[in-house]
Amino acid sequence: MIRRTIPAAVLAALCAIVGPAHAAGRAELQSACFAPATLAADPAETAPVKLGRPMALRVPQTTLPSAIPATLPRGAIRRVDLPKGRKLIALTLDLCEQWSEVAGYDGAIVDYLRANKVKATFFAGGKWMTTHGERTRQLLTDDLFEIGTHGWAHRNVRGLKGPDLLREITAPTGAYRQQRQALAATQCAAALPAAVSRIPTEPALYRFPFGACNPEALDAAHAAGLSAIQWDVSTGDPAPSQSAQAIAHTMIANVRPGSIIIAHANGRGFHTAAALPLAIPALRAKGYQFVTVSELLAAGRPVITDTCYDSRPGDTDRYDTLFAPRAVLPAAPPAPPATTPALRTSTPR
């Protein structure tokens, strides 16, 4: 065996360039706090469970930030214009959950993204984060992923006003903070404060459920310090009839530099887990690089609209009647059902 001695001065120079290995990111936090088996997909938690009545969960209280940066965009961001030649795109996966259900967690999608080092942004509902505490904390510790928020209980904000509207938009920030704090309080995380500090203390991105908003809701998101991130490539994966091949074709045919792609990882992205292994290698072969939404925003200029929609303005207006929101959030948690369903949370390791 040939042994080589590297002079100390060279080692010091190398460390100055790449930094110490453990300063790379959040990965060591993930490996310290979650065994591989707990990170892996569990088919039993993929499908949403309908409960038939609202869950007894307290809605976190949050306050608006005292100052909003002048650079914070106002309006709905659909894509990003990039400098010529750059082929960055953002895959986004919504984790939607309504009051009377426990939505799913499609771990096969996350397993694929991890195995193939694909960056992605999750838009998690506040209630979803609360019922999927451990999964949320796992996503928070992953260098590949970024978490934005997606309403408290996936309401159509076009039917909400004033305090109800603000609470629907800001409560998930409270849920995010709760999970971040729970993680930081664990013994495994306490030994790694530098890695914990790399988890953003606040979410910066927001997605309007149903692709529906109005000027008042856009103003509320802005007042909350959140960038509203919608999309320009809709996979159509909430339709059970949509095949994996069709989803992949939609992605490959419609993506262009700066695109934001919407899909779902809450068990209502039908065939999404099978579609991504078809679409992602094909897009990479065309020279596209997957980045988080924040990285995409930092690389160019956002394309902003003053309304929200799926593929064309007005196409989500039908949700005003299909998913008319209750006017008022429960001030106190609703009474628990006779048999309280087990939450998909557990004490973090």
Two tokens, residue 17: 């360039």
Nearer Cβ to Zn ion, position 46 or 141?
A: 46
Other C-beta atoms closer than 10 Å to the C-beta of 85 total 7
Other C-beta atoms closer than 10 Å to the C-beta of 145 total 20
Of 172, 209, 211, 258, the residue at the interface with Zn ion (CB under 5 A) is 209
Q: 247 to 286, contacts with Zn ion by CB under 5 A?
A: none
Per the document, the length of the chain is 349
Residue 22: name the closest of 172, 211, 201, 196 by CA.
196
Question: Which uninterrupted H or E stretch holds 205?
Answer: strand 205-206
Q: Is 94 in the site for Zn ion (CB under 5 A)?
A: yes
Q: Is 73 in the site for Zn ion (CB under 5 A)?
A: no
Query: Could you tell me which stretch among 92-100, 175-183, 194-202, 232-240 binds Zn ion (CB under 5 A)?
Result: 92-100
Instruction: Name the residue whose CB lies closest to Zn ion.
Output: 96
* Cβ contacts of 50 within 8 Å, gap of 6 or more: 100, 101
Q: Can you tell me the distance from the alpha carbon of 155 to that of 168, in angstroms, rounded to the nearest whole number? A: 8
**Residue 168 is which amino acid?**
E
Query: Could you tell me which stretch among 205-213, 240-248, 294-302, 335-343 binds Zn ion (CB under 5 A)?
Result: 205-213
Nearer Cβ to Zn ion, position 75 or 172?
A: 172
Question: Which uninterrupted H or E stretch holds 14?
Answer: helix 8-18
Nearer Cβ to Zn ion, position 82 or 308?
A: 308
Nearer Cβ to Zn ion, position 98 or 141?
A: 98
Nearer Cβ to Zn ion, position 33 or 157?
A: 157
Q: Tell the smallest beta-carbon distance from residue 309 to Zn ion (Å).
A: 14
Nearer Cβ to Zn ion, position 94 or 134?
A: 94
Number of residues that bind Zn ion (CB under 5 A): 3
Q: Is 96 in the site for Zn ion (CB under 5 A)?
A: yes
Q: Can you tell me the distance from the alpha carbon of 245 to that of 258, in angstroms, rounded to the nearest whole number? A: 23
Residues found near Zn ion in the complex (CB under 5 A) = 94, 96, 209
